[in-house]
Amino acid sequence: MNIHIKYFSLRGESLMPATRKNFSAEDKNNIKKKLQEVCAAFWAEQGYKETSISKLCKGANISTGTFYNLYESKEELFLDALKKVQTDLNEQFIADIKQSPSKQGFIAAIENLYYEYEKNPFLYDNKTVDFLAFYNKLSEADKAKLEEDNSDFFRQAIAHANLTLKESEQMAFAVFSVLLSTVSSKEALSKQFDFKATFQFMVQHLMDEIFE
């Protein structure tokens, strides 16, 4: 598997200075952003367990000393990378809804979100041994925060679409979570039938059952 990652530098200089104090707060923020980008790329291509700190440092063109000046562990970086990808997708989803605040607009936004999930398998395939190896190292507080953030995002999306639920919020969230998780079966199921048309059919009919 080939991962195309541009090496990172600030102001055209090396990111491996002799001392940590050479980094300003802005530099540290920029390096963390690049590490999150590199982490997401490796995670999607190789998985959590195969992505070492040395690979991450090489991808971001920094030393391991610099890494540990920013993160206490690999898991802390992976959690930040997951949050960043989710936040970007959620913001785009709500932006799509705002362009057409309606049931049909919500459906179109869900379909766009689904195609983005295809590019980031670690977002949905969270029952794999690889994902669980990461997830099980998180604190209960971090796990709860991830769930809370997803619920808040879904709640905001419904409000922006000006929709009223027929079912409970919990049921609606569960239904769309299951819908998005079907991307893990797309490759196999596409050999048997038109997966895109089937997914659109499910979304359309479920929307009518969930919203007024």
pLDDT in tens, 128-155: 899 999 999 999 999 999 888 888 888 9
Query: How far apart are the C-alpha atoms of 4 and 191, rounded to whole Å?
Result: 29
Cβ pair 56, 77 in contact under 8 A: yes
CA atoms within 13 A on the CB side of 110: 30
Q: How far is CA 202 from CA 62, 97, 107, 109, 139, in A?
A: 46, 19, 10, 14, 35
Task: Provide, rounded to the nearest whole percent, the portion of the chain with pLDDT above 90.
Answer: 56
What are the DSSP calls for 40-65, one per residue? HHHHHHH-STT--HHHHHHHHTB-HH
Q: How much is the average pLDDT of 86-96?
A: 92
206 or 186, which is more confident: 206
**Please, which pLDDT band fits residue 4 given cuts at 50, 70 and 90?**
very low
Which CATH code is given to the segment(s) 76-210?
1.10.357
Per the prediction, the chain carries an average pLDDT of 85
- pLDDT for 171 equals 92
Q: Which of 177, 152, 155 is nearest to 165 (CA)?
A: 155
Query: How far apart are the C-alpha atoms of 142 and 84, rounded to whole Å?
Result: 14
> What superfamily would CATH give domain 20-71?
Homeodomain-like (1.10.10.60)
What are the DSSP calls for 61-110, one per residue? TB-HHHHHHH-SSHHHHHHHHHHHHHHHHHHHHHHHHHHS-SHHHHHHHH
Q: What residue segments make up the domains of the chain, in order of their start? A: 20-71, 76-210
* pLDDT over threshold 60, residue 13: no
Cβ pair 42, 48 in contact under 8 A: no
3-state secondary structure (DSSP) of residue 188: helix
- pLDDT for 16 equals 41
- pLDDT for 23 equals 82
CA atoms within 13 A on the CB side of 36: 18
| Residue 13 main-chain phi, psi, to 5 deg | -110, 160
- pLDDT for 6 equals 41
Query: How far apart are the C-alpha atoms of 69 and 27, rounded to whole Å?
Result: 12
